[in-house]
Structure 1
């Protein structure tokens, strides 16, 4: 990890139609709200040296994928499999990780995609950060579609984009604010972990 006060958060995502990319941008914006933190977006559709070098330098990696047929996209899975050489060298061990996903259905088995992302992070020896929000909307009769975490996820940030809606209107503002919350939370947790590690070194 870097020596300066701020942290670098990498958002490694794939987006098939632009909806998950809007989520990724909201995640990055949230990460930048933490004091001294920066965020960089990486589209994993291109497995470039820039991608691997950026992820190696990052203090935290937030993974993002659309949910297709109940799981992550094949493009994201290709990236996950290509990270095998990083795994062999334990290159991402002890980095912070989190995840987000989007699908057309309100449920859409998004949890399965998030579970796959968390397992990927666990295999790399990373520290997974949950969403850290109570469920909104349908959790109580007083809920609203404008609530943060309106889809009631815990493992990561969920978004929903109707199949006939373009990325200019979906995901909803509530889902984008939920993604923003995740980015900010990851950056803040990463700063906390760094300060704790620095104190251990000084002891």
Structure 2
């Protein structure tokens, strides 16, 4: 059985979401039996499609702009029409992450759009898999994993006046790492199950 392959396909407008993407890839690669690759959709080329087709899991990332995915990500989604028609991603695992300047910023709307996009391709959505941290309880801390209390995917916040050298926070990046490790683990479980079924 080959190492499971986790592809991280993302757009980042100002570099903040790119840091999240790097953290997701790092988390996936830290998982035994998994490899990860980063694919910046701003500079998508002909090598993108074979890499995504070969992946066992694809993690989609976008900043949240005006309550939805970025125009670059939406353009990528529309460019997958041939993939959709051929059902090339049917049965693959999918997950997602997003970043916005606001604490809320309607990040759930962007993550829901990613989940629907994956569902249209017949993919199996893997949620974040963490209990809420941060100010969910009076005992919480901004340093907690999942401090923004998301469930569908990994959320991050980057204040508009801070560059990517200072945002997102360490806890948001560790949450993204968790997402990468989580989907790599689930992908390995799926691969073992498929191998056992084939045998």
- For 1:9, the equivalent position in structure 2 comes to 6
> Which whole-Å CA distance do the structure 2 matches of 1:106 and 1:162 have between them?
9
- 1:47 Cα deviation from its structure 2 partner: 3.2
Query: What do you get for the CA RMSD once the two structures are aligned?
Result: 0.7
- For 2:84, the equivalent position in structure 1 comes to 87
> Which whole-Å CA distance do the structure 2 matches of 1:194 and 1:56 have between them?
16
Aligned length in residues? 199
Of the candidates 154, 161, 174, which is equivalent to residue 164 of structure 1?
A: 161
- For 1:36, the equivalent position in structure 2 comes to 33
- 1:138 Cα deviation from its structure 2 partner: 1.3
Query: Normalising to structure 1: TM-score of the pair?
Result: 0.97
- For 2:180, the equivalent position in structure 1 comes to 183
Point out where structure 1 has 5 or more consecutive residues left out of the alignment: none
> Which whole-Å CA distance do the structure 2 matches of 1:180 and 1:47 have between them?
23
Q: Is residue 116 from structure 1 mapped to residue 113 from structure 2 by the alignment?
A: yes
Q: Is residue 69 from structure 1 mapped to residue 48 from structure 2 by the alignment?
A: no
Further displaced range: 43-52 or 165-174: 43-52
- For 2:197, the equivalent position in structure 1 comes to 200
- For 1:149, the equivalent position in structure 2 comes to 146
Of the candidates 20, 23, 30, which is equivalent to residue 23 of structure 1?
A: 20
> Which whole-Å CA distance do the structure 1 matches of 2:81 and 2:40 have between them?
18
Per the alignment, in what secondary structure is the counterpart of residue 143 of structure 1?
coil
> Which whole-Å CA distance do the structure 2 matches of 1:81 and 1:176 have between them?
28
- For 1:136, the equivalent position in structure 2 comes to 133
- 1:56 Cα deviation from its structure 2 partner: 0.8
